[in-house]
C-alpha cells in the first residue's frame, strides 16, 4: 500500500485544498510529491491499443490499482472535493514518441472525477505529452508532466480530455496511472 505525503493529510491543508478545488472553470487540484514514491513497485505489463483517430498508446493495469480503489484514498478524494466519488476504472498508460489521444474520445462520458498520477521522469515541455481538459464554454486547463504529482479534475458531461501527441524527438515516454471515479 502506498502512503500519502503526510502534508496532504493535515486538517488545514485539506481545508485549503477544498477551497482551491472550486476556484476555476474546471474544479481541480494538483498535488506534487503526492506519495512516498519509494514504496511504489513500477513494473507495469502493457499492450498497445489503437483506435485510429482516437488514440494510439500502450495500456495496462494501473500500477497502484489497489491504492486507487482503497477506502483511504476515496475518502481523501471526498474530503478534498466535497463529492462522493465511486471507483470506476484504473489503467496505466504509456505514451511513447508518436503516441496520442484526442479529445473526442470523451464525447459520451458522464460526470466524473478524473485522477492522473504521474510516473514520467525528465520531461521537456516541447515534447508535448501533457494533459488537456477542455469544453466549449470553459477555459482550457493544461497539466504538464511532473513526476510524482497527482491531478484531480472534476469533469462534467461534455467536458473533454486527452493526452497531447508526444513528439518523435522525445527521449522519454509519458507514464501515468489514469483513474476515473463516477459522480452522482
Among 38, 41, 43, 52, binds other proteins (CB under 8 A): 52
Name 173's Cβ contacts closer than 8 Å, sequence gap at least 6. Answer: 94, 95, 96, 97, 99, 120, 129, 166
Nearer to other proteins, 13 or 167 (CB): 167
The least distance separating other proteins from the CB of residue 137, rounded to whole angstroms, comes to 17
- The reply to whether 103 sits near other proteins by the rule CB under 8 A is yes
* Beta carbons within 10 angstroms of residue 39's beta carbon: 11
- The reply to whether 168 sits near other proteins by the rule CB under 8 A is yes
Nearer to other proteins, 54 or 147 (CB): 54
- Choose the stretch contacting other proteins; rule: CB under 8 A; options: 3-11, 63-71, 116-124, 160-168: 160-168
The least distance separating other proteins from the CB of residue 53, rounded to whole angstroms, comes to 5
- Restricted to residues 79-98, the positions that interact with other proteins (CB under 8 A) are 98
User: Using CA atoms, how far apart are residues 85 and 34, in angstroms rounded to an integer?
Assistant: 19
* 4-34 as b/e: b if 16+ CB within 10 A: bbeebeeeeeeeebeeebeeeebbbbbbeeb
User: Using CA atoms, how far apart are residues 87 and 33, in angstroms rounded to an integer?
Assistant: 23
How many CA within 13 A on the CB side of residue 43? 2
Nearer to other proteins, 56 or 91 (CB): 56
- The reply to whether 102 sits near other proteins by the rule CB under 8 A is yes
- The reply to whether 169 sits near other proteins by the rule CB under 8 A is yes
User: Using CA atoms, how far apart are residues 132 and 145, in angstroms rounded to an integer?
Assistant: 11
Q: Which residues bind other proteins (CB under 8 A)?
A: 50-54, 56, 98, 100-103, 126, 132, 162, 164-165, 167-169
Amino acid at each position: 500500500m502506498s502512503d500519502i505525503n503526510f502534508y496532504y493529510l493535515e486538517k488545514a491543508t485539506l481545508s485549503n485544498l477544498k477551497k482551491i478545488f472550486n476556484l476555476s472553470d474546471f474544479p481541480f487540484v494538483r498535488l506534487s510529491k503526492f506519495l512516498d514514491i519509494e514504496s511504489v513497485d513500477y513494473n507495469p505489463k502493457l499492450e498497445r491499443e489503437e483506435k485510429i483517430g482516437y488514440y494510439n498508446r500502450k495500456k495496462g493495469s494501473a500500477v497502484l490499482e489497489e491504492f486507487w480503489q482503497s477506502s483511504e484514498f476515496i475518502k481523501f478524494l471526498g474530503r478534498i472535493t466535497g463529492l462522493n466519488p465511486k471507483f470506476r476504472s484504473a489503467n496505466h498508460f504509456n505514451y511513447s514518441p508518436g503516441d496520442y489521444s484526442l479529445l473526442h474520445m470523451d464525447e459520451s462520458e458522464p460526470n466524473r472525477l478524473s485522477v492522473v498520477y504521474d510516473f514520467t521522469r525528465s520531461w521537456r515541455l516541447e515534447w508535448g505529452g501533457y494533459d488537456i481538459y477542455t469544453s466549449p464554454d470553459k477555459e482550457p486547463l493544461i497539466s504538464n508532466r511532473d513526476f510524482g504529482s497527482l491531478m484531480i479534475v472534476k469533469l462534467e458531461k461534455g467536458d473533454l480530455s486527452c493526452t497531447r501527441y508526444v513528439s518523435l524527438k522525445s527521449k522519454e515516454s509519458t507514464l501515468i496511472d489514469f483513474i476515473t471515479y463516477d459522480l452522482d
